Structure 1
């Protein structure tokens, strides 16, 4: 039973302890015959069993009863004439009863009655039929009442965790709720006991083991008796990196030897974890521990030197670099390594070598260059930092990184360089920034063009589909058209020409209502491609950008005759341009609308005029040319302003 593997699992189960104690009493002759050696051995085992499982609410009484039974057997084996020894043994049994009565367990009242009967057998007068504490010493009675109260508070929790018809997930949640309650009561022994009960039920629940080890590290910390628990945790759930991290931190708190720490670290690297971050955390925890031991724990005299840290970092990079290329985790490892090379290893050349190895693997990562430059700057190596800027300012980084490194170089020279250094950096950076801005504008133009082409293709496709569906549907006439045809027939209009009939029955845009809803539902051609004649239309400008069609319709309500309203929208932003066309039913209504020119509407003075389509068509080419000219001027001025801003930084 003393082997390491068995020792670990002894504290898992009340039944396991109970069976083992019975086995010892039956097959160990010294224990069975109650020899002094056997008695000492048995008592040691019983006390260990009670420490491990004596607080078990549901089954702990089995161990207490077994302990009392063994001590009764010892009493019966004594010489009846040895009154002093027998009296000591009686007191020993009485003490076990008192300890038992102070523990909340399921059979507490039955234990009280058993105790009173036992006292009566040994000459004390007690009412053995009553469950009251009358006649019992005040200390024992007080402890018993407190145990009863504690049992009452835990009754519901106990009932939930022993249900057999409950799903495992629900039972685990019940255990977690019970554990939270016990932690609030502040008794680490009871919390630890309940964790062991939960672990017995769910031995490979990683969440439970993580919660358990966190609690132990927080409350018991450097208790050396916890080593077995951490060993069990990593054996039951070896795939959980956090458990290995907690194990290494525990060993460090206990000031264990380097051999023990190294052994746990090497065992962890043999496991397979679900995420690369778990490997990173294990390597960094190992380095953290080595750094602290070298700097702050020299009294341990482990013979540690910095070479061990360097070796651990190198193993981490060899192991992780292929999976961590261009990631923050790899940057974190190299930054830490370079700092320790310079601070503990006192080797700046080695620190630079660490950064160079990172750049070889992740040279397109802006943060890698920034970290390297930051180290050189903090150490006062201005020329070395400047040379790094010269190496990387022309590189292409993601996002705005290329512009950022240029701006950082200018700022660096402003703070650390001479005027010549500042001018030199500005001359290098200015054309680079202009190149980057031009490239960005080109990319934006391509994106806009691509978006416009995609939108146009979608519109064309939609138009074709609508035309196809319209051609398949039978021609329908409006009531006004049917009435007009009926009048034509009454005037003996020739009906022999089928072609004439077909042409006459077509509904033209002129015949269709100008209402906006009707345009949407009846016209198969999208509004964008529809040709408006604007024969009886008002052009409205300086319109409030928040105004909508209903607002304009309300504004012209006193005029009347409004048939359709078209507010012009920006192609890209989809917001109002402050312009609108309002179609009227006849010239009289249109003239009345134009008469409202210069009136205030939603805080702005409207400009209202009759729409002139011919003038608009003539001016369209010139308007387009002016827009293109404006874009060219804007591009040139943007490049000039960028150059000026860099020179002024």
Structure 2
């Protein structure tokens, strides 16, 4: 048998080689010694080469066997192992390897064809051998849709089955059943299904030839069978429909009808056949473009898969479930491990067919192709339950699913719950007598497996709660139900839901004292969030509804100190949190007041006024050279607000303000900008960046730097920009672009000159350019506007000690003498100082 298989493989290799190779030169004298020596040398070299190849194959074979023994799930190693065994002619090992792989993975159609071909080459004379090969074909057509595999199967049966070959009634019936199965599975394949239709017609026509000419009735019956096949095929959208129509017309002519075979019209054909043909032709024309897209070889696999999805949506909209199913089968044959494709396929079958062997078989193949998808296993179990599968089959599928590796623990959780649901329904509603211990064992396995992964989660509480209810209601075992809750408390004792579920079960069962004892065990425990308070209040409500007065008083006695303790703890935590927030705020305030930060100028007028009203010290801050204590009156606030409103409308003050925002990265140091050749641009779109402004001035040229001031708090653009140019000529050209559009807004462009504000003349260029080392938020170091505020403040009353010395100089004060004021001989207490602030 090994020699036979080796011969087949050699013939296949010879067929694969090109036939246009030049023939080797034939020696003129075949009897010459030189020719004999060359021939002997060539034979020896071939023998040595074969020996080396054989030893190399053995080494490779041993390596693959070692790999598969350590990792049976390696698909590629299985394929290589089978290919090598087939090449070496190791028949028994090859059978075992193929069987081992088929248990783990679905084989491709080509692998099934090779297997069947190898077995057919060894023995086809014995009936049991033919039956074994037919089983191989059956297994092959189950895995994937393949027209070529079905065609080989049909051809093998017609050739090697004696009853079919001799056209015996039993053989004819067997062949017809097989052809009908093939048409159901792949007859709607648009591009390849025609092969099966034509093979079926050829078979029926061969049977017609075996009927005796005198048996007119039998011949007429067979002719009608062939006519029906033609008409069925013409009603299906397939390739070459016009040629099929012509073949049908030619056949009818042979039967005595007068038809124009060459024409494509439907004259002489029955109306129902013509209508069905026209409809099928329209369907084919609607699918031609889609067939071309899924058959393209110049696109990637992901793009082809997407084209299949588009095609599937079209078929689903047409409303023919058979066509949708065939197209899904074609798609998964090309993309067998596309899990989303299997999920969509099974979901469609659940919606349209719901029950039946078809759906069950699809789920079986789906879980075999994509065993790592937990949802497929869950829906497989539900499908088996709908189909009234036996407990043995359900248990086998469930056990097989647990051997798979899923990506999330939730998939295992859902799988256990699905199995428990099915067992509960079987015992509760179907009337079948079952053993409750199966449910208990399932939950115990789930708890053992999931507890380490779902500790202190709602999912684990849900699982045990479900288990405990079934123990109580189906198992009729209260102690077992309590044992479930107690085992959960050992794992999730810090979860309030676990205790409340245990208590709820006891109350539902009417065991009030047992529920009370659980409250006593858990009321003093610490739970997350407000759980500790909740369990205390829950105990009080429980005693109000179920307990006596003594029980209620006892609960109050226990719960009250616990609630006080918890309240004190909450207050401490809130105080600690408040302190942390205040410290954080103070830290931020100190960072804002550090040298180089002009807090007063950076804040808006409304913000400064609000801060001054709420916290005078914070509003004015402390300077290293001055330490004022200023009490602002309502008159001062109103006057400062008016000044701020006037300044906010001054366009040139924006220029000054923007310049003060250009800070160097070194704390306490301001970067110098003389603006000798700078354009000030305003009304800029807030989305504009430096690149947009540079493009705007690209026709002018000469741009050396661009600065966009940003808001300190939001970090967004203020709608202003400073553009430095290399010389005055470029600057003048840039100013001429005034009022032009930039990103949808008409910008204003002027030569930058912050010194033209007369109120700011007190600061010379030298003052602006020196390095600032003091705090800019102090009153003495403020701008002219700030001086204008304080110089006009009317000082009234005796409490002038709280006014900065820069504002009020008491009578008799000199630089060398400390001032003495009435009423300031004795330091004031905190209460007196507070009353002074709120007196008015």
Match among 88, 91, 111 for residue 244 of structure 2:
111
Match of 1:236 in 2: 369
Task: Give 1:288 deviation, angstroms.
Answer: 0.8
- Secondary structure, counterpart of 1:323 in structure 2: coil
CA RMSD of the aligned region, Å? 4.1
CA shift digits 1:306-338 (9 cap, x unpaired): 111111111111111111111111111101111
Mapped to 2, the partners of 1:161 and 1:38 lie a distance apart of 39
Match of 2:442 in 1: 312
Match among 336, 347, 369 for residue 214 of structure 1:
347
Mapped to 2, the partners of 1:7 and 1:251 lie a distance apart of 23
Contact 2:427/2:434 (8 A) holds in 1: yes
Match among 279, 284, 289 for residue 417 of structure 2:
284
Distance 1:151 1:557, change over 3 A: closer
Match among 72, 92, 96 for residue 225 of structure 2:
92
Mapped to 1, the partners of 2:558 and 2:398 lie a distance apart of 50
Mapped to 1, the partners of 2:264 and 2:648 lie a distance apart of 95
Match among 263, 282, 305 for residue 130 of structure 1:
263
Mapped to 1, the partners of 2:283 and 2:314 lie a distance apart of 12
Distance 1:238 1:536, change over 3 A: closer
Task: Give 1:50 deviation, angstroms.
Answer: 0.5
Contact 2:143/2:365 (8 A) holds in 1: no
CA shift digits 1:374-418 (9 cap, x unpaired): 112222222222221111111111122112222222222233333
Q: Which moved more, 1:273-282 or 1:444-453?
A: 444-453
Mapped to 1, the partners of 2:292 and 2:642 lie a distance apart of 69
Q: Which moved more, 1:23-32 or 1:269-278?
A: 23-32
- Secondary structure, counterpart of 2:452 in structure 1: helix
- Secondary structure, counterpart of 1:132 in structure 2: coil
Mapped to 2, the partners of 1:513 and 1:335 lie a distance apart of 61
Residues 219-368 of structure 1 aligned to structure 2 (within 5 Å): 219-298=352-431, 301=432, 303-368=433-498
- Secondary structure, counterpart of 2:207 in structure 1: helix
Mapped to 1, the partners of 2:395 and 2:195 lie a distance apart of 42
Q: Which runs of 5+ in 1 are unaligned?
A: 471-508, 519-525, 565-573, 575-579, 597-608, 628-649
Match of 1:612 in 2: 803
Contact 1:8/1:232 (8 A) holds in 2: no
Mapped to 1, the partners of 2:641 and 2:185 lie a distance apart of 81
Q: Which runs of 5+ in 2 are unaligned?
A: 1-133, 605-618, 658-712, 714-776, 806-822, 836-840
Match of 2:718 in 1: none
Match of 1:197 in 2: 330
Higher helix share: 1
Mapped to 2, the partners of 1:552 and 1:431 lie a distance apart of 60
Match of 1:539 in 2: 632
Task: Give 1:84 deviation, angstroms.
Answer: 2.1
Match of 2:724 in 1: none
Residues 404-553 of structure 1 aligned to structure 2 (within 5 Å): 404-451=534-581, 453=583, 515-516=601-602, 530=623, 539=632, 553=644
Task: Give 1:595 deviation, angstroms.
Answer: 10
Match of 1:491 in 2: none
Distance 1:621 1:256, change over 3 A: farther
Match among 517, 522, 532 for residue 392 of structure 1:
522
Match among 279, 285, 301 for residue 152 of structure 1:
285
Mapped to 2, the partners of 1:75 and 1:462 lie a distance apart of 104
Contact 1:536/1:587 (8 A) holds in 2: no
Task: Give 1:203 deviation, angstroms.
Answer: 0.8
Contact 1:536/1:586 (8 A) holds in 2: no
Distance 1:515 1:454, change over 3 A: closer
Task: Give 1:183 deviation, angstroms.
Answer: 2.4
Match among 369, 376, 392 for residue 506 of structure 2:
376
Task: Give 1:187 deviation, angstroms.
Answer: 2.1
Mapped to 2, the partners of 1:206 and 1:542 lie a distance apart of 77
- Secondary structure, counterpart of 2:632 in structure 1: strand
Q: In the comparison of the two structures, how many residue pairs are matched? A: 542
Task: Give 1:31 deviation, angstroms.
Answer: 2.7
Mapped to 2, the partners of 1:367 and 1:514 lie a distance apart of 54
Distance 1:461 1:285, change over 3 A: same
Task: Give 1:536 deviation, angstroms.
Answer: 11
Mapped to 2, the partners of 1:241 and 1:424 lie a distance apart of 51
Task: Give 1:260 deviation, angstroms.
Answer: 1.0
Q: Which moved more, 1:586-595 or 1:143-152?
A: 586-595
Mapped to 1, the partners of 2:346 and 2:227 lie a distance apart of 37
Q: Does 1:54 align with 2:187?
A: yes
Match among 625, 645, 658 for residue 554 of structure 1:
645
Mapped to 2, the partners of 1:112 and 1:282 lie a distance apart of 54
Match of 1:120 in 2: 253
Contact 1:206/1:240 (8 A) holds in 2: yes
- Secondary structure, counterpart of 2:575 in structure 1: helix
CA shift digits 1:211-252 (9 cap, x unpaired): 222222222122124332221111111111111111111111
Mapped to 1, the partners of 2:210 and 2:642 lie a distance apart of 109
Mapped to 1, the partners of 2:257 and 2:143 lie a distance apart of 39
Match among 618, 622, 633 for residue 830 of structure 2:
622
Mapped to 2, the partners of 1:619 and 1:114 lie a distance apart of 122
Task: Give 1:121 deviation, angstroms.
Answer: 2.1
Contact 2:456/2:492 (8 A) holds in 1: yes
Q: Structure 2 length normalisation: TM-score? A: 0.58
Match of 1:168 in 2: 301
Contact 2:141/2:150 (8 A) holds in 1: no
